[in-house]
Amino acid sequence: MKLGFAFRLYFQNLAASRSLNILSIGIITFAFLILGMFMIAARNMELVVDKWGEQIQVVVFLKDSAGEADRARVERKLAFRPEVKKLGYVSEAQALERLKGMLGDKATVLSGMDKNPLPASIEIQLQKKYRNLQFIEALAAQINAWPEVENVFYGQRWLKNFLSLYRIFKLLTYAIGGLIFLASGFIVYNTVKLTVYSRREEIGIMKLVGATDGFIRIPFLLEGVTQAVSASIISLVLLFLAWVIFHQTIRIPFQLFALGGISFLTPGQMISLVAAAAFLGIMGSMVSFQEFLRV
């Protein structure tokens, strides 16, 4: 089939049913606005949760007898491990200062002590993919066996609660996201079907004069994809404008979430949204088209 002819048919169709196309794009835009809003909400919640996740750390307490050389050896051994993101040494004096800071006015209770009881420690921040309970437990057990180490602490209870909460959050995101995606897909399918339905007679006539299904299908596929892709781009532009206005006019204490502000979608997510639109447009026209081919 000549592709040029398919494109000519496609442009003829667009011109012939401009209002129907605008209506379809409008409906699909709404569907993608909802999907896009959910994606922004999910992304920001994930950023918040990730921020909290950064607080997951393993604290290695060194033995009182451990000297400078021991500490340097432990740090070196840790620094070579792929799971370690950042290391921080906290001396006995620094630990005491932190405790005083945390006690505030009540720090005077410490003044009676003639010796600093706090041990020196090394704080380990883990790479994101290693922040799971099984791994942290195994790592803690390994480090604990080192001769220079007195004890390893990783906030076992907090960590367990946090990680199960994180799992629920992830699961909910996928479930709700999946449902919204399905609903959007259904809307796109039905809207594209509307266009094909309005042309069912035309499809019938083309078939009666000997056009193959493939010949007829291409302009309709192009129409479905154009509708869905342009709707997704319009929804992204609208969301971006809303995001800019929101940032300029409303001030929310975002520091509550330890974030600078609400983030927009990443370029990857935007491309995924447009790609998903193209996919839904193709599927929508393919499936609905099949129904009207039986002539």
Partner 1 sequence: MIELYHLTKQYERDIVALSDINVKIKKGEFCYVTGPSGAGKTTLLKMLFAAECPSSGQILISGRNISRIKPRDIPYLRRQIGVVFQDFKLINHWTVYQNVAFVLEILGAQGKDVRRVVLNTLKRVQLHHRVDSYPQKLSGGEQQRVAIARALINQPQILLADEPTGNLDPEITDEIMKLFVEINDRGTTVLFATHDRNLIRAYPKRIISLKGGSLFSDSEESSSPTLELGKKR
Give the residue ranges of DSSP H helices in the chain: 3-16, 18-53, 68-79, 92-103, 133-144, 156-198, 200-208, 213-249, 267-291
Q: Is 239 exposed, middle or buried (0-12, 13-18, 19+ CB in 10 A)?
A: buried
User: Which of positions 234-293 make contact with partner 1 (CB under 8 A)?
Assistant: none
By CB under 8 A, is residue 22 in contact with partner 1?
no
Contacts of 91 (CB under 8 A, 6+ apart): 120
Residue type at 86 in one-letter notation: K
By CB under 8 A, is residue 205 in contact with partner 1?
yes
Of 44, 43, 46, 49, nearest in space to 269 by CA? 43
* Rounded Cα–Cα distance for residues 36 and 232 (Å): 9
Q: Which of 212, 263, 266, 290 binds partner 1 (CB under 8 A)?
A: 212
By CB under 8 A, is residue 215 in contact with partner 1?
yes
Q: What minimum distance in Å lies between the beta carbon of 16 and partner 1?
A: 4
Nearer to partner 1, 89 or 215 (CB): 215
Q: What minimum distance in Å lies between the beta carbon of 197 and partner 1?
A: 16
Q: Which of 45, 207, 218, 259 binds partner 1 (CB under 8 A)?
A: 207
By CB under 8 A, is residue 206 in contact with partner 1?
yes
Are the CB atoms for 123 and 88 separated by under 8 Å?
Answer: yes
Window contacting partner 1 (CB under 8 A); options: 61-69, 85-93, 201-209, 281-289: 201-209
Nearer to partner 1, 8 or 247 (CB): 8
* Rounded Cα–Cα distance for residues 295 and 292 (Å): 7
Nearer to partner 1, 19 or 249 (CB): 19
Which residues here bind partner 1, judged by CB under 8 A? 1-2, 5, 12, 15-16, 201-202, 204-212, 215, 295
